[in-house]
Amino acid sequence: MTVLTDDQKMLQETAANFLRDEGGPARQLRHWRDTGCSDGYGTDLWRQFGELGLNGICIPESHGGLGLGATEAALVLEEIGRNLTPSPFLTTAAAGVRAIEGTAHADRWFPEILSGEAVLALAVEEGKRHRPEATAMMATRQGNGFLLKGDKQFVVHGNSADMVLVIARTAGSAGERDGLTLFAVDKGANGLSVDTASMADSSKASRLSFDNVAVDADAVVGEVDGGWAPLSRALGAGRAGAAAELVGVAAGASDMTVDYLKQRKQFGRLIGEFQVLQHRAAHLYGEIEIARAAALKAAQALDSGDARADLWVSVAKARAVASAALAVQEGVQMHGGIGMTDEHDIGLYMKREAVLSELFGDERYHRARVAELSGY
């Protein structure tokens, strides 16, 4: 059982109250979807995140942040998931911050992230499935810099990001994780084209095409040919954060379903009185609690530098995907016909689960990774 400190409980309560009041579906997701917002989220809300200090959770105190970690970020992300709040918190304040920490890019971008003025994006995916180790995009040397050529897809917030973190291969090697370099590419770079589409949950993701995009040596994050280290930090934070957000999606869908069971009558009785539905609701509660414990364990492992952190992160992502899928499926089914309509929010949870489950690796990817890291 994971026990939160008093400070963590206070942070969780602050995030819960803020997002319940300002981040719910009617005020945010539906509004930006129905008005055709090109970003898919509210920039004013992102600045409010900054005003509350939430954007600085993973930023060191030396740079003006709170100097906390993945555990505190997970508490915020669970509330983001519970309220279906469209926000760049996961990709920017959790994953992006971890990628650039300790580099000159932190000095450049941390102040704007803290204030909610900047958004970062991760350009990792190239194929149909998540497999960062198989990066094929090339960065060839030119003078004291590089030319980036290739394509990336499923770049969340790629159209609105002020800076994109791009992983590319800079050297041939027998190991897939060797010879990779992470680059910080500014918005509007010459030769960079962006094709953006709305995903199932109305969030935005882009396909980025790099046609000999020139970057200088200062664009390198970390070391040349050593990009796996900052990328793995970002992926670890992103995967653990996505697990926590999925727990929030599951919890939000479950709460909505249980409330419906207590109100809807059939055959003269509340449907929540039928034992078979009670059993299904109880089973779902247990699955969500397991997923929540796994997500917090993964975050705490990252914060403590546990040698098995990668294992716990993949356990958490796989468990959270399964629990969230069960929660939204049960929710839509128990709501009956109304659950299939856009007027009811339960379907929005299913759409968010479908997108978030794929981000940073799906259940199959992480189950295989658990087996690999466990020595099976």
pLDDT exceeds 80 at position 269? yes
Any bridge partners for residue 155, and if so which?
206
* Reported pTM: 0.95
Mean pLDDT estimate for the chain: 95
Q: What confidence score (pLDDT) does residue 266 get?
A: 76
- Report residue 51's pLDDT band, with 50, 70 and 90 as the boundaries: very high
The percent of residues in the chain predicted with pLDDT above 70, rounded, is 98
**pLDDT digit string (tens) for 237-258?**
999 999 999 999 999 999 999 9
Higher pLDDT, 268 or 192: 192
- Report residue 338's pLDDT band, with 50, 70 and 90 as the boundaries: confident
Cβ-count burial of 305 within 10 angstroms (0-12 exposed, 13-18 middle, 19+ buried)? exposed
Q: What confidence score (pLDDT) does residue 260 get?
A: 86
**pLDDT digit string (tens) for 97-117?**
999 999 999 999 999 999 999
Distances from the Cα of 268 to the Cα of 33, 272, 281, angstroms: 38, 12, 21
User: What is the chain's Cα-based Rg?
Assistant: 21
- Do the strands 204-215 and 145-156 form a parallel or antiparallel pair, or are they unpaired? antiparallel
Any bridge partners for residue 196, and if so which?
206
Write out the DSSP string of 95-152.
Answer: IIHHHHTTSHHHHHHHHHHHHT---EEEE---SSS--GGG---EEEEETTEEEEEEEE
Amino acid letter, residue 349: Y
